[in-house]
Amino acid sequence: MRTLQALVRIAGASALLLFALTSHAATDRLVITGSSTIAPLAAEVAKRFEQQNPGVRIDVQTGGSSRGVADARSGLADIGMASRSLRDNEKDLLPHKIAMDGVGIILHKNNVINVLSDAQIKAIYQGQITNWKDVGGSDLAITVVNKAEGRSTLELFLHYTGLKNSQIRPQVVIGDNQQGIKSVAANPGAIGYVSIGTAEYEEQHGTPIKLIALRGVAATVANVKNGKFPLARPLNLVTRGVPTGLSKRFIDFATSADINDLVEGQYFVPLDH
C-alpha cells in the first residue's frame, strides 16, 4: 500500500511538473498567422525579438489575410497578419500597423509594354483583350494571373478596378506573392499583380519582371512612401482585444523604430516614429 501511495505521489508530482513546464512554454511562445506579404518581414522581426529574448519562440505561418483575421478572432493564433485595413465587420479586432506597401501590376521583363490604362487592365482581366498586340505590344497571347480568394491583394485589386472576382477570366490562379512573381517571370505573355515591395526587390535582384505605372505614377516604394501611388495599403498585425503579455511586447517591438532596417530590407515603407 505504501508503495502504491508513493507511486501516486510521484505520478502526481510529475504531472504538476509537466503542467508547469507546459504552462511556462506556452507563455514564451507566440503563433502568428496570415498575410504572405507580411510573413517574411514578421519572420525577420521575430528572429530579432527571439535573439533579444532568450527562450521565446515565435511561429510565423502564412495563409492569407483572411486566415490571419480568422485565426486571431478564434484564438488559433496569438496575432494575425493582414495586409489591408480591417473591414467594418472586423472591428472587434485591433490593427497594429507595422509598415506600408503598395500593389503593382507586373509584366515579364521582355514585354515591350510599359504602361496600361485602367480601362485596358480591366479589359485584359475580363478576357476582352487577349493578345498584347491589341494594346500596342507583340503578337503574343496574354496569360492572366489572378490571386486566390482570401488574399488581400485580390481585394485591393478588385476595389481599384471596380471588378468583381466573378468577372475575371484568369488562366492562372496563385496564392502568395512569390507564386505570382514566378508565374510572370516564367511566361513572357503573363500579367499579374503583387506587393510592390516584393516585386521591386525581385526586379532589382535579377528576376525577369517589371512593374508598370498606374495612372501615370511609377510603381515604386518611394511613391508609396510619398503618398502618390494610387494603390497603397497598411501592413497590420491584428489582435483580439488589447494585447497583453508576450503579444504586447512583440507588437510594441514590431511597431517601433527598432525594425526600420528590417522593413526597408523587405522593400516596404517604415512608419514615421
- Which of 71, 74, 79, 229 is CA-nearest to residue 150? 71
Cell of 44: 525577420
Task: Judge whether 194 and 153 are in contact, CB under 8 Å.
Answer: yes
CATH superfamily of 102-225: Periplasmic binding protein-like II (3.40.190.10)
Q: Provide the pairing of β-strand 29-34 with 57-62.
A: parallel
Q: What is the pLDDT of residue 271?
A: 87
Listed by start position, the domains of the chain span 2-100+235-265, 102-225
Q: What is the pLDDT of residue 27?
A: 61
**Beta partners for residue 104, in sequence order:** 194
Determine how many CB atoms are found less than 10 A away from the CB of residue 11: 10
pTM value?
A: 0.75
As a whole number, the mean pLDDT across the chain is 90
In the block, which residue shows the cell 511586447? Answer: 249
Half-sphere exposure of 170 (CA within 13 A, CB side): 18
Task: Compute the average pLDDT of residues 46-68.
Answer: 96
Q: Where are the alpha helices (DSSP H) in 102-256?
A: 118-125, 152-161, 177-185, 196-204, 221-225, 245-254
Q: Which DSSP symbol is given to 139?
A: S
Q: What is the DSSP string of 215-248?
A: TTB---HHHHHTT--SSEEEEEEEEESS--HHHH
2-100+235-265 has which fold? D-Maltodextrin-Binding Protein; domain 2 (3.40.190)
- Which of 204, 144, 154, 160 is CA-nearest to residue 177? 154
Q: Read off φ and ψ for residue 167, nearest 5 degrees.
A: -85, -15
Q: What is the pLDDT of residue 267?
A: 86
Q: Provide the pairing of β-strand 29-34 with 79-82.
A: parallel
Angle value at C-alpha 234, between 239 and 161, nearest 5 degrees: 125
For residue 23, is pLDDT > 80? no
**Could you check whether 2-100+235-265 and 102-225 share the same CATH topology?**
yes
- Compute the distance between CA of residue 167 and CA of residue 154 in angstroms, rounded to an integer: 13
For residue 262, is pLDDT > 80? yes
Task: Compute the average pLDDT of residues 234-245.
Answer: 96
- Compute the distance between CA of residue 70 and CA of residue 80 in angstroms, rounded to an integer: 8
Determine how many CB atoms are found less than 10 A away from the CB of residue 142: 23
Q: What is the pLDDT of residue 163?
A: 96
Task: Compute the average pLDDT of residues 154-171.
Answer: 94
Q: Which DSSP symbol is given to 259?
A: G
